[in-house]
Structure 1
Amino acid sequence: MSTFPVLIVVSVITLLFLFKLVRKHKRDSTKNYPNGSMGFLPVIGESLSFVKAQKANRGQEWVEERVAKYGPIFKTSLMGGPTVFITGRAGTKFVLGAETEVLVPRQPVTISSIMGKHNLFEVAGTKRYKPIRQAMMSFLKPDSLQGHIKRMDSMVNARIDKDTRGKETITTLSFMKKLTFHVACQILFGITDDPTEQALYEEFGHCFEAMWSAPLNFPGTTFRKGIQARKRIVKKILPIMEKRKEQIKKGTLNPMNDVLSCMLSLETEAAENDDQEEPITMNEVIDNFVAMMIASHDSSASVLTWVIWKLAKDREIYDNVVKEQMSITDERKQRQQQGGGEADGRLTWGDVAKMKYTWRVVQEVMRVIPPFFGSFRTAIKDTSYGGYDIPKGWQVFWVAYATHMNNDIFNDPAKFDPSRFDSKSNIISPYSYLPFGAGHHTCIGLEFSRVEALVVLHHMVTKFEWSLVNSDEKITRLALPYPEMGLPINLIPKNSCWSPIP
């Protein structure tokens, strides 16, 4: 088929978009929009240059170039929609502190298409937000997680042993991705079948790549591959959900076993309650499963990879972490020798609570290399900030590095210093430290992520020492920061490694 007719169609569509934009500009000429460029092509805008900069770890420079040209508040077009960038602590407070009647955490079309329009971000500000969030929090709150700590410890211990057995070198990023996905499947969603887990792992990989791609739904594009992968995920998980629903109805499955069962129990209760105005649907459960699976493992894998990198680069930090973790191992040995209800040799909630220095190291890694460059919000009514109008429907993007590396907020921000997170001696201003968001938009999975990271690091540092294969490996970003080559490391098993009785 000739490409000439296609070019004509594309040209006509582009001209129509431009005509619409010109008309809209004339209608809204009384508004004071931020300065900036919306890009040459409608819809695509500056998406391609932004994604290119992110992949080269030049996202900060991309923003700073526009801040220097337009100011700390500027407009552009990203991921299919007009977008206002807001930088600095005051701007972050405005975005993350805004009520859901003004700004909601709805995502660009590329992200919402993969996660689904009923996920927790998309329903913020509606009646559906509270029950769905409560279902997730009923499992993710600390007192619920306490009951799963020993299972997580055994699972992580066994998986690390399995995936490192006989290996002198591992690629840290893929190792951590598979490990955190395994924990998410088993602990969060109750998926214990290995073939199902492996199939889902591959499909979610396509989904994650698609979320920060250009919104081009054509054969061969990254976005199209992500859409198709999501369809296969839904097809795979639906029979599992239907079976769980029946078990919950019969009373043979405890809804508190995992997050997925918690959500399905709401769906089941809603179906049996004729008085409920907006019953929870299977589509809502599916979308939140997809969204939470994406959120629950890739960010943790990225953070853990960079902690492993830092421990390899800084012997003093590594030795301090090992000292803390070995003291906990010694206490576990003593408990097992003394016997009693807690004497099965596995980590307890109290053990995790003692990992204070290790957690401060993780926090400092997330400050220096934020897991998220920033995030989108959407204005659901006309609003304004800094003297500029933000129309209803526009996206708003806040940036993490603008506060994380600000000398007025963190003393000597380029220095790696875990002690800055010692709450007894330092107070960090609200809306300044943002790996988990802030205010009432703080990530609901914070506590789960903390526990998971500490359990993984406990086993890594008590089992191994390691060195970097490539000491000068660069950072690339595909939404999250990754080592360019996946951070291969040389493993050195510790002869004194002790494992509890399985």
Structure 2
Amino acid sequence: MVVGISFFVLFSSTLSLAFLLSKWFSKGQTKNVPKGSLGYPIIGETLSFLKAQRQDKGGSDWLEERISKYGPVFKTCLMGSPTVFAIGQAGNKFILASPDDVLSAKKPLTMKKIFGRQSLVELTGHRYKLVKGEMLKFLKPECLQNYVKKMDELVNATLVREVTEKETMGVVVFMKKLSYDLSCNILFDIKDEQSREALFVDFTLAFKAIHSLPINFPGTTFWRGQKARARIVDRMIPIMNKRREEVSKGVVSSTNDMLSGLLALRDEHHQPLAHDLITDNFIFLLVASHDTSATLMSLMIWKLSRDPEVYKRVLEEQMEIIKHREGTEERLTWEEIQKMKYTWRVAQELMRMIPPLFGSFRKALKDTSFQGYDIPKGWQVYWAAYGTHMNDDVFENPRKFEPSRFENPTKPIPPYSYLPFGAGIHYCIGNEFARIETLTTIHNFVKLFEWSQVNPEEPITRQPMPYPSMGLPIKIKPRSNMS
């Protein structure tokens, strides 16, 4: 009987919420909003969007279907909120260059619940500049130069330890764990293996919840993600308390790592930052710094497995660097990273054709408009890289893999057209860290091993980041000149 009553209450509440949301959505219909469909109450078109992301073309067909019906500016409903898509360079610029008091970087409910209300993507004004400025101290060129040797040592040791005795390996899982360990070691100085392992499991669960339906029932992806986030916070509190004490006593310098820097930082009132703000940004940074890099590194191994000519040129470039190494130096240097021009052009072209971020949300904080359409306050807006990355007015023959287009382009790439790291004020602050991490990993991979795909026709799907759908299992063996 109790179960029956509980179900009735839940069912009634859901219907009431659906009714209220549908009335809220319909308020926008009195305005000149773009054409399109808001789909079902609450759910909207979220399920079809996520399903399209998981398919081989990663959502481009979903976009094309709506663009052909409604044009490059259309409305839908995603993650529980009415959403306007603005496809193309003009749309990218409108969304990414608008001031924060018009289009805020505030994210959908799922992202807000996982990242936290005080993560960098939610902050505005003075607090945003303060926190971003502290993070940038550890991502500026002089710091990045100091990371190269340590990163090279960690990547090399991990590959030798984890891969040498194996005949096969799953690249995606390996790269996720590798990039996570690099972030923990280099950016946050968290070296305790037990803590790192426990945190990694929960970060994996939390990340899955970011692109899910905001349904907080036991057993749902969103529910599991929030539980994982709560465990991350619980595990971080003693780590932060110990680090804060070490910083205050001078045992650890505030310039040692990003976590120490945030703990030592003072706000406009000369007060230390709240624990919540630091944990929110720790979670945001670890997700941002490790999963996007893991995506690119996995795609690089996938591409090198499938394209002998590209593989040959990357191998030649990396071996040439080793050949011209002076003295007894065995580890990579900053100068050598700068010589990996072709390898990075391969990465750039991969990110053009298979961008790590399909697109991203902003939120209208006031009524605004774009190309004659009204965008009501409270609605989301969304830009998609596909609109320019695969546009032949921007990139000649865009469906052809051509790394040389980033070497000496016949015409410059227009602003807001190439967006693997976003653009505008919220341009990804870790893009250079990701570049060094990717180049260091690929250097060691091709130097130490030869490999081939177990499933040569393995497609790419979005989960929501683009990964080889089977985890990219490869047959692998050491090179004869392994060092």
Q: 1:33 to 1:214 in 2, by over 3 A?
A: same
Q: Secondary structure at the match of 2:77?
A: strand
2:350 to 338, 345, 365: 365
Cα distance in structure 2, aligned partners of 1:348 and 1:22: 58
Tell whether the 8 Å contact from 1:255 to 1:265 is kept in structure 2 after alignment: yes
2:327 aligned residue = 335
Q: Secondary structure at the match of 1:127?
A: helix
Tell whether the 8 Å contact from 1:420 to 1:426 is kept in structure 2 after alignment: no
Q: 1:476 to 1:2 in 2, by over 3 A?
A: farther
1:26 to partner: Cα distance? 7.2
Cα distance in structure 2, aligned partners of 1:288 and 1:393: 24
Cα distance in structure 2, aligned partners of 1:26 and 1:207: 32
Greater displacement, 424-433 / 279-288: 424-433
Greater displacement, 424-433 / 303-312: 424-433
Q: Which runs of 4+ in 1 moved over 6 A?
A: none
Tell whether the 8 Å contact from 2:302 to 2:468 is kept in structure 1 after alignment: no
Tell whether the 8 Å contact from 2:87 to 2:387 is kept in structure 1 after alignment: yes
Matched ranges for 1:11-22 at <5 A: 11-17=11-17, 19-21=19-21
2:311 aligned residue = 318
1:248 aligned residue = 247
Q: 1:52 to 1:24 in 2, by over 3 A?
A: closer
Q: Secondary structure at the match of 2:392?
A: coil
**What is the CA deviation profile of residues 31-52 of structure 1, one whole-angstrom value per residue up to 9, with x for unaligned ones?**
21111221222x2222122112
Q: Secondary structure at the match of 2:433?
A: helix
1:209 aligned residue = 208
Tell whether the 8 Å contact from 1:156 to 1:179 is kept in structure 2 after alignment: yes
2:372 aligned residue = 387
**What is the CA deviation profile of residues 253-297 of structure 1, one whole-angstrom value per residue up to 9, with x for unaligned ones?**
11121111111111xx44xx8x44x75211100000000101111
Tell whether the 8 Å contact from 1:377 to 1:395 is kept in structure 2 after alignment: yes
Q: 1:15 to 1:223 in 2, by over 3 A?
A: closer
Q: Secondary structure at the match of 2:122?
A: coil
The AA in structure 2 aligned to 1:248 is: V
Tell whether the 8 Å contact from 1:140 to 1:445 is kept in structure 2 after alignment: yes
Cα distance in structure 2, aligned partners of 1:115 and 1:25: 26
Q: 1:39 to 1:3 in 2, by over 3 A?
A: farther
Identity of aligned residues (%): 49
Q: 1:392 to 1:489 in 2, by over 3 A?
A: same
Cα distance in structure 1, aligned partners of 2:22 and 2:39: 14
Q: 1:350 to 1:39 in 2, by over 3 A?
A: same
Matched ranges for 1:304-453 at <5 A: 304-332=297-325, 334-336=326-328, 344-423=329-408, 426-453=411-438
Cα distance in structure 2, aligned partners of 1:25 and 1:121: 25
Cα distance in structure 2, aligned partners of 1:424 and 1:22: 48
Q: 1:52 to 1:424 in 2, by over 3 A?
A: closer
**What is the CA deviation profile of residues 436-484 of structure 1, one whole-angstrom value per residue up to 9, with x for unaligned ones?**
0013221000010000000001001111121111011122211101111
1:27 to partner: Cα distance? 5.8
Q: Secondary structure at the match of 2:162?
A: helix
Q: Secondary structure at the match of 1:44?
A: coil
1:15 to partner: Cα distance? 4.6
1:329 to partner: Cα distance? 0.9
1:493 to 462, 478, 481: 478
Q: 1:18 to 1:305 in 2, by over 3 A?
A: closer
Cα distance in structure 1, aligned partners of 2:324 and 2:254: 34
1:341 aligned residue = none
1:426 to partner: Cα distance? 5.0
Q: 1:139 to 1:485 in 2, by over 3 A?
A: same
**What is the CA RMSD across the aligned residues, in angstroms?**
1.8
Aligned residues: 482
1:464 aligned residue = 449
Q: 1:335 to 1:386 in 2, by over 3 A?
A: same
Asked if 1:299 corresponds to 2:298, the answer is no
1:303 to partner: Cα distance? 1.0
The AA in structure 1 aligned to 2:288 is: A
Tell whether the 8 Å contact from 1:171 to 1:486 is kept in structure 2 after alignment: yes
The AA in structure 2 aligned to 1:116 is: G
Q: 1:313 to 1:248 in 2, by over 3 A?
A: same
Matched ranges for 1:162-177 at <5 A: 162-177=161-176
**What is the CA deviation profile of residues 371-406 of structure 1, one whole-angstrom value per residue up to 9, with x for unaligned ones?**
111111111111111111111221111111111111
Cα distance in structure 2, aligned partners of 1:98 and 1:492: 51
Q: 1:137 to 1:219 in 2, by over 3 A?
A: same
Q: 1:23 to 1:39 in 2, by over 3 A?
A: closer
Asked if 1:483 corresponds to 2:445, the answer is no
The AA in structure 1 aligned to 2:327 is: R
Cα distance in structure 1, aligned partners of 2:84 and 2:179: 34
